[in-house]
Amino acid sequence: MKGDVIVIEEHHHRAAAVIVAAMEAKAQAKPGRFLVTVAGESGSGKSETAAALAERLLEVGLRSAILGQDDYFVLPPKDNDARRRQDPDWLGPDVEVRFDLLQANVNAALEGAASIDKPVIDYAANSMSTEFLSLAGVKVVIVEGTYVSLLRHVDLRIFIARDRLETLEHRRRRNRGGEARDPFIEKVLSIEHKIIAGHQHLADIIVTRDYDVIQAG
């Protein structure tokens, strides 16, 4: 999403190094592209972790491309917020997110497409457009977002196990539209927490609240 401020800190780099060490051989051995998802609650550090992974992967000779679920919302941010306030059912991957388009873009990447046309949201302008994303030389596709554990054909699922209370400080620093001070947003995040609570069991790797990396199962 345009306008998102991503600050990669030491703990993101530390986690990325452990994860890449665990996945590098498998990614290299796979004939086609390798798909990684990074899921978790709002403010858990999904974007930062994805970016740190991309940096670390490049260091070991694996080029990656990142897709963010936030670019696949049906409505731009302000309109989506207004719709949520009007309609209590306007929440979740099958309602407010174009999950079918995200899956289609992922499928195209895994099938070897040289490029894809993907949506992009400009947060400040509250607008949506389409951008060209080259996949030339890309070996690893990283998809980050709240619900991305539900994508198909995933080679490695990562889940950041930090809930809305543990991410409060991060959300205050990011402070999209004053969301960290809005009781309605906190209510939405509480519902979102219940929706994705079961997604952790889908994970191959769990990143704890302290950003320790553990193998699931």
> Residue 48: which of 19, 1, 2, 12 has the closest Cα?
12
At 106 the pLDDT is 98
User: Is residue 132 a part of any domain in this protein?
Assistant: yes
What residues does 207 pair with on adjacent strands?
160, 213
Asked, for residue 3, whether it belongs to a domain, the answer is no
Question: How far is Cα 36 from Cα 214, in angstroms, rounded to an integer?
Answer: 16
Residue 104 falls within a domain, yes or no?
yes
What's the pLDDT tens digit per position in 96-140?
A: 999 999 999 999 999 999 999 999 999 989 999 999 999 999 999
Kindly report, residue by residue over 182-205, the tens digit of the pLDDT: 888 888 888 888 888 889 999 999
pLDDT of residue 203: 97
User: CATH no. for residue 172?
Assistant: 3.40.50.300
What pTM did the predictor assign? 0.90
pLDDT of residue 59: 98
According to the 3-state scheme, what is the secondary structure of the chain?
Answer: CECCCCCCCHHHHHHHHHHHHHHHHHHHHCCCCEEEEEEECCCCCHHHHHHHHHHHHHHCCCCEEEEEHHHHECCCHHHHHHHHHHCCCCCCCCCCECHHHHHHHHHHHHCCCCEEEEEEEECCCCEEEEEEEECCCCCEEEEECCCHHHCCCCCEEEEECCCCCCCHHHHHHHCHHHHHHCHHHHHHHHHHHHHHHHHHHHCCEEECCCCCEEECC
pLDDT at 12: 96
4 in a domain, yes or no? no
In a domain, 1, yes or no: no
Domain of residue 156, residue span: 10-215
Check pLDDT > 60 for residue 214.
Answer: yes
Using DSSP bridges, classify how beta strands 156-160 and 127-134 pair: parallel, antiparallel or unpaired: unpaired
Q: Report if residue 2 sits inside a domain.
A: no
Q: What pLDDT is stored for residue 177 in this prediction?
A: 52
Q: Per-residue pLDDT tens for 34-77?
A: 999 999 998 899 999 999 999 999 999 999 999 999 999 999 99
Residue 88 lies in a domain: yes
Specify the number of domains making up the chain: 1
Residue 5 lies in a domain: no
pLDDT digits (tens, 9 = 90+) for 161-183: 987 665 656 555 555 555 556 88
Check residue 178 and give its pLDDT. 56
